[in-house]
Amino acid sequence: MASTEGKTLARVAAHREIRRRIITLQLPPGHPLSENELARELEVSRTPVREGLLLLVEEDLVRVFPKLGSFVARVDPQRIADAQFVREAVEVASLTDAVEHRTDEDVEALRDLLRQQREAAEDVDRFFELDEAFHQRLLAAGGHANSWRTVEQAKAHLDRARRLGLRTVSPVSSLIDQHAEIVGGVESRDLDAAASALRGHLRAVFEDVERIRSESPELFVGSADERPVRRSITVLQ
């Protein structure tokens, strides 16, 4: 029993860590995946790594090519659009309650996150964490904190596009300004202003995707060289 539980925990941990590396672009689109290397890095056997990769295949975050092996899936614009649709539906719906029922504590918490974001503007990874915290706190202000799990599960593909945008085309300062507009609408109980600012903020990812796609088409599904080539790497001792 203990052995079975240990195997399950190892599979869950392997899946979670590989997924994290893919979403944070530590493992970029098109990157080859070696079960042996991942098992060594994660300090587990190959079995939980293999099982974790199969779960990621189901999420379309990993692709398996016969005779070539496993690779990080390229970014799929359709999956981004689907995830953004879910996210916008949930967050804008919650905003109605946030505007009506928000407290001074909610507004202060959101403004504190804005201050932290400005301080972390040069650190992309830290800003991304604070951006997540901002949207989670916005849901909480509407009494829908538990809905964050639904949003989070839906947006793995969206998060990769967002991170690519942060690193290449979207100035962090403009995103913070958009956050400030949302908070302003919530604080003044102006639902139209808050909702308009939130929709514009969430939909900005589509412009980022088009710009990145024009510059780096190899990162996206449908590129001419979508079928990867696994190259041998010589490791010098």
Average pLDDT by stretches of 10, the chain with 237 residues: 72 95 95 96 95 95 94 94 96 97 97 97 92 98 95 91 83 93 98 98 93 91 62 37
- Rounded CA Rg of the chain: 20
Q: What total of structural domains would you count in the chain?
A: 2
Return the exposure string of 159-188: e unless at least 16 CB atoms fall within 10 Å of the residue's CB, then b.
Answer: bbbbbbbbeeebebeebbebbbbbbebbbe
pLDDT at residue 79 in the model: 93
Question: Does residue 92 share a domain with residue 190?
Answer: yes
Domain annotation covers residue 158: yes
pTM of structure: 0.85
Question: Does residue 131 share a domain with residue 70?
Answer: no
CA distances from 49 to 74, 81, 228 (A): 20, 29, 21
Return the exposure string of 64-79: e unless at least 16 CB atoms fall within 10 Å of the residue's CB, then b.
Answer: eeeeeebbbbbbbbeb
Q: What CATH number has the domain bearing residue 63?
A: 1.10.10.10
Domain annotation covers residue 119: yes
Length of the chain in residues, anyone? 237
Residue with tokens 């849901």: 139
Domain annotation covers residue 231: no
Question: Does residue 66 share a domain with residue 96?
Answer: no
- Residue 89 structural domain: 77-217
pLDDT at residue 45 in the model: 94
Domain annotation covers residue 185: yes
Domain annotation covers residue 66: yes
pLDDT at residue 4 in the model: 73
Q: Tell me which of 32, 48, 74 is where a domain ends.
A: 74
Domain annotation covers residue 148: yes
Question: Does residue 140 share a domain with residue 61?
Answer: no
Residue 22 near residue 160, CB atoms below 8 Å: yes
Domain annotation covers residue 228: no
Question: Does residue 89 share a domain with residue 179?
Answer: yes
Q: Tell me which of 74, 91, 124 is where a domain ends.
A: 74
Q: What CATH number has the domain bearing residue 127?
A: 1.20.120.530
pLDDT at residue 226 in the model: 58
